[in-house]
Amino acid sequence: MTSTSRKVIAVLGAGPGLGMSMARRFGREGFAVAIVSRTDARHGGYRAELAADGIDSRSYAADVTDAEQVRDVLARIAAEFGEIDTVYYGPASASFGSGIVPLPEADAAAVRAPLDGLLLPAVGVVAAALPPMLRRGDGALFFGGGLSGLRPMPMLGNLAPAAAALRMYVLTLAAAVKEQGVFAATLTIGGLIERGDIHRMFLEQGTPLPTLDPDDIADKAWHMYVARDEAEAVFDVLTSVA
């Protein structure tokens, strides 16, 4: 498949869990994959995994929470690898600022820190990725989100307002661009992603928590991409054990 006929997915904040599952799932449908993460330490392994499945990929090092770096790396991908059809944005972070602060103890600075680390980087991704999609009248944007943006989860404290803000931002964006041919959706995740770095950390600590198979999430994302009639999919293994 040539660069003029194939589609390209940019996986921003790529990791061994959902990021790689998204890369493989879309790659199986003929997409070329651009992997982007803060460092290139694991890129060789990621590309080897994809190559073993017959998937063409390239990798780029950039801080995907930095709007300027996101703009630059997406421009590089489009110039070197092909016009970007789909973006998946799902970097995971165990903490923002001083970490989780219970809401009864959270001041304005504690609530603002997750907004700066979660919501505003997503806005930067949209600012960089959306204009070419609108010019073409085609494209897709996927965002990984947290269940605390949908349901009250007091244990997540000051992370919950940011998760809720990101969820509503994506849903509102989806409604705003739908008639212009662009699809946007949030993958609202309640549980540990298997094979991901946070999952590995909990395993090492011997902490048993409910998990989600990232291949199942990526498969759902693919079907959402094709049907374009759902702006949100919820994956919840936490409510039943709460």
Q: Read off the pTM.
A: 0.91
Residue 130's nearest CA partner among 187, 188, 169, 81 is 169
CB 36 within 8 A of CB 59: yes
The domain in which residue 174 lies consists of 8-241
Q: State the Cα–Cα distance between residues 84 and 36, nearest whole angstrom.
A: 13
Query: Which DSSP helix (H) or strand (E) runs through 104?
Result: none
CB 159 within 8 A of CB 114: yes
CB 182 within 8 A of CB 163: no
Give first-to-last CA distance, the chain, whole Å.
48
pLDDT at 72 over 60: yes
158-203 tens-digit pLDDT: 999 999 999 999 999 999 999 999 999 999 998 888 866 565 665 5
pLDDT at 31 over 60: yes
153-166 tens-digit pLDDT: 898 899 999 999 99
59-69 tens-digit pLDDT: 999 999 899 99
CATH number at residue 161: 3.40.50.720
Domain presence at residue 203 = yes
- The whole-number pLDDT of residue 108 equals 96
Domain presence at residue 2 = no
Domain count, the chain: 1
Query: How is residue 238 written in tokens?
Result: 């936490």
- Look at strands 84-89 and 8-12 and give their pairing: parallel
How far are the Cα atoms of 135, 228, 238 from residue 168, in angstroms, in the given order? Answer: 24, 18, 21
Domain presence at residue 3 = no
CB 142 within 8 A of CB 94: no
